[in-house]
Amino acid sequence: MAVRLWCYLIFLNKTIKITDDMNNPKSKIENVLKWANAQVGKYAQPCKTSGCKYNEINSGITPCSTPNPPPDADDIKKGSAKDGHAVWNFYCMRFVRFAYNGPAEYAKANDMYLALNKKGAIKTDKNIPHGALVFWPWETFGHIGICVGDNQIIHTGVNPKTKEKGIRISSLADITEVMDGYNKYPNTGKSYLGWAYPPETWPGR
């Protein structure tokens, strides 16, 4: 069993407790949470094209004409793009992967959940540590977010009516209630599937 240590970090204007095990050191979780929190309210995904308005390192004042990653054709058809760039709505798996600099091994949140559940890595309690990945069922896609403390989850939207809110922080209870409605579950709270530590192979930031 991995030995857990504890440290404290001033984040989101309050002191939070971060789990530090041998697979995911505190510096990894700290940097991931800082990056993720900086995305709150952003609608368009970061663009890798240098000089683009949406480039995180070398940004310009106007959007580029070569978005990377580009929006899917279906997204463009539905109007789910901004200045020709991909937006975060519905891309929860990509958001979590970007936060941890993880490889594109899971196309959907549900794929990752099934893989981790098969390994026995999913925990179903609600004592969710900072930096943990949190899962819900939704159609064939599933939904995933990152816990930032006090069962507050940073995630993308899944409702097209609120897509321009971009990345947001919601409580575990609120997301679960919304997913219960989407999934038409009669029992409150059934949509919460559990949480897991991020893969140790995901390098972080």
For the chain, 205 residues long, give each residue's pLDDT as a single digit of tens: 343 433 333 344 443 444 445 567 888 999 999 999 999 999 999 999 999 999 999 999 999 999 999 998 888 877 788 999 999 988 999 999 999 999 999 999 999 999 999 999 999 999 999 999 999 999 999 999 999 999 999 999 877 788 788 999 999 999 999 999 999 998 788 999 999 999 999 999 9
- Shared domain check, 96 and 55: no
CA nearest to 81, candidates 67, 94, 93: 67
Give, in order, the Cα–Cα distances in Å from 11 to each of 17, 38, 97, 197. 10, 12, 21, 20
Judge whether 203 lies within some domain: no
d(CA 47, CA 63): 9
pTM: predicted TM-score of the whole model, two decimal places: 0.85
- State which of 87, 102, 119 marks the end of a domain: 87
Q: Is residue 94 part of a domain?
A: yes
Same domain, 61 and 96: no
Residue 4 vs residues 24, 131, 161: alpha-carbon distances, Å: 10, 14, 42
